[in-house]
Amino acid sequence: MEQSSLPASGPQKAASGGLIHTAKSRRASLVAAIFLMATSAIGPGFITQTATFTSKMGAAFAFGILASILIDFVVQLNIWRIVTLTRMRASDIANAAIPGSGYVLAVLVIIGGLFFNIGNIGGTGLGLNALFGLDVKWGGAISALISIGIFLSKRAGVAVDRFIVGAGIMMIALTVYVAYASNPPLGEALRQTILPDTISFATITTIVGGTVGGYITYSGAHRLLDRGMVGIENLPAVNRAALTGIAATGIMRYVLFLAILGVVASGVVIDVSGKAANPAAQAFQAAAGSVGLRLFGLIFWAAAVTSVIGAAYTSVSFLTVFKRDMSEHARNIATVIFIAFSLLCFVLMTTTPAAMLVFVGGLNGLILPIGLSIFIYAGWARSDLMGGYRYPRSLLILGALTCALTWYMAANSVGPIFALLSK
């Protein structure tokens, strides 16, 4: 029988429209998760840490960037996959795998997220200071209120996703421009990426913590969970999203490093310890003059605001382990309170914003191996949590090796990291 060429009927149109809407929603969720992970991983902490360590170590810091990318690859891929397969938040997975460990993990991530958010708010203040000359405290307060306004929006989820994607694209474009303007020594940077003249475990632990430690580890995964991107059927899309996010953040990290290395290699001395020090701002200004300073202010503010949102959102998502029936509205209110308390701590603190941004990376680097150990154990021994799915042993072996490495680095870095608080 010849098939009809008539247009689809009302129900057929509705079904087709529903599928298209579902596909668009699915794609938007993946893009938002990628950018949430990326902007969290390239926040004001990472930018300040990169400027600080590049000014001290020069091209040798390229090895630390490479180490952070490799560790990021193993950590994020395992965390995203296990959260997707179990359909549970990280703290619930931990409790199911090792009873009681989820509460410990939640407390550590929330504390680490709070310290990170204090630094992030300080970062927004530094950004607006470079952009408009605004007092750092006032800049932090204004930015915190903007973040709170986003969460009080009736469509908070959509607002967060769109803001993070837009800010992330702007950060990438502006940083690439400054990297081009600074004319870095590429050959030396590539050599020391593989064969560094010096290796500092405290530096690597701090930069790893600032890119994949603490709450950052779970930010993209929890965003996917909230958007329903779970189960074995979504695993291929989650793998692609995780790998795309890791690749994007890896390139962005290296480009930022090259931008600052070009300045340092030219002989410019960057102040990393002064009371009002803003190391990255100095590098951008040296590379592109007053325009570079304004561009930096914009980049830094965008990175800091998205990180305020990411840190608060992910940290609060761990509260559900203590109150399972917590609604989305209640979580939004808790997020507002979290941001407001972070702002209060920032206003009262005496540690300089730049020193705090470096310290919080180190702190979250110390927290990272605890959560990773629990997840690797769950992957090895608790396939029942993943519906009987046999987790790839190659990923688990890489995860176990990375876990051992992060424990070793943390053990060798505790003293130098906490010494940063006295600056």
**Domain 24-419: which CATH number of 3.40.50.10240, 1.20.1740.10, 3.30.750.200, 1.20.1250.20:** 1.20.1740.10
**Average pLDDT of span 159-174:** 69
**Average pLDDT of span 305-314:** 83
What pLDDT was estimated at residue 226? 79
Dihedral, CA of residue 287, residue 292, residue 298 and residue 304, to nearest 10 = 20
Q: Is the entire prediction scored with pTM above 0.85?
A: no
14-42 pLDDT tens trace: 444 555 556 666 666 666 666 655 555 56
122-140 pLDDT tens trace: 989 988 998 898 999 999 9
**Average pLDDT of span 381-400:** 92
CB neighbour list of residue 214: distance below 8 Å, 6 or more residues apart: 108, 109, 112, 113, 116, 360, 363, 364, 367, 368
CB neighbour list of residue 55: distance below 8 Å, 6 or more residues apart: 260, 264, 269, 270, 272, 279, 283
What pLDDT was estimated at residue 350? 79
CB neighbour list of residue 128: distance below 8 Å, 6 or more residues apart: 134, 136, 138, 139, 142, 143, 297, 301
Query: Could you tell me the residue ranges of all domains in the chain?
Result: 24-419
Query: Could you tell me the maximum CA-CA distance found in the chain, to the nearest angstrom?
Result: 83
- Please determine, for residue 50, whether its predicted confidence score (pLDDT) is greater than 80: yes
- Please determine, for residue 154, whether its predicted confidence score (pLDDT) is greater than 70: no
Q: Of 357, 346, 347, which Cα lies nearest the Cα of 420? A: 357
338-366 pLDDT tens trace: 999 999 999 998 777 777 878 887 888 88
356, 349 Cβ separation under 8 angstroms? yes
What pLDDT was estimated at residue 63? 94
250-273 pLDDT tens trace: 888 888 899 889 988 888 888 876
13: pLDDT confidence band, cut at 50, 70 and 90?
very low
